[in-house]
Structure 1
Amino acid sequence: MLLPRVEMLPLGDGDIDEMVAIENCIFPHPWTRGNFVDSIASGYSAWGCRVAGELVGYFVLMVAVDEAHLLNISVAGKRQRMGFGARLLEWAMSTARQAGASSLLLEVRPSNRGALALYRRFGFRQIGLRRGYYPAAEGREDALVLRCELARFLA
């Protein structure tokens, strides 16, 4: 049996509809079309994972001097827990390193246990807390600020 081909490809304006569709299915407070348009227009690195042509996940990464910030990483609901998040995270870390970053920062909801486990597996450690950072069903939810030293992980 032939397995479908998995490709990591840069994303642009033509991919935004697919990214927005995934966001709207998996998040109660998704990124808007404008968030994606602005990120791509600003030159942030956007990459997607495609399986047999289908976008199954993506990330948006901002690099500033020697530090990168993972702004968004998402995997389509039906494709979660299949290793695509790990594949995307590893690609994001490698992309950041190639752009000259020595560390990668991100924010994550404390309630997102699956993402937290993935980030910890990749060497991310909590360095801060942003109170009331995320909109939530009832008010706001804090964000844990995590960092990974890329040289340590990608040596």
Structure 2
Amino acid sequence: MIRLMQAGDVADVVAIENLVQSHPWTAKQFAEAVENYHTTVIEQAGKVVAFCIMQPVLDEANLLLMAVHPSQQGKGLGYQLLEHSIAELNNQPVQIFLEVRESNEAAIALYEKSGFHQIDLRKNYYPKPDGTREHAIIMVKSCSDDFASLFK
């Protein structure tokens, strides 16, 4: 079941985040996200297994964070959650932006499947555990047919 994230989901979301991120958000950041952003989760058998945090800004949105529990990856849940989260945005954005690690091929494939494409590269953006840095790919999804036609 896909639903809005609630304060009671923060512990499950933090647990997922700690499994998948080298520099995870804190419980406080997730609690603030529930209050300030468009946050959704997938719940299975009473447990959160995926989450998505989007920040609507005027006629745009930013995908801030999204993750699926490692045991549930590869089942299409990320795509379902992303599509649902976009459809539920109240500001009906013209375009949605995100940044993703250059090495995160699975996430890039998911975003491309959902209609995102690369528009830029932010060099040395993400810290890596070994002290080096990794590039971020900046992607956008055009949500308006009129706007999308400008880029064809």
Q: What TM-score results when the alignment is normalised by the length of structure 2?
A: 0.89
Is 1:12 paired with 2:6?
yes
Is 1:94 paired with 2:87?
yes
Determine the structure 1 residue equivalent to 2:62: 69
Amino acid corresponding to residue 124 of structure 2 in structure 1: G
Question: 1 CA distance for matches of 2:4 and 2:114?
Answer: 22
Please, which runs of 5 or more residues in structure 1 have no aligned partner?
A: 1-6
Match of 1:117 among 84, 109, 114: 109
Contact 1:66 1:102 in 2 (8 A): yes
Residue deviations 1:75-130, cap 9 Å, x none? 0000000110111111122123x422111111100100001111111111111222
Contact 1:93 1:150 in 2 (8 A): no
SS of the counterpart of 1:50? strand
Question: 1 CA distance for matches of 2:48 and 2:19?
Answer: 13
Q: What TM-score results when the alignment is normalised by the length of structure 1?
A: 0.87
| Percent of residue pairs bearing the same amino acid type | 35
Please, which runs of 5 or more residues in structure 2 have no aligned partner?
A: 146-152
Amino acid corresponding to residue 133 of structure 2 in structure 1: R
Determine the structure 2 residue equivalent to 1:29: 23
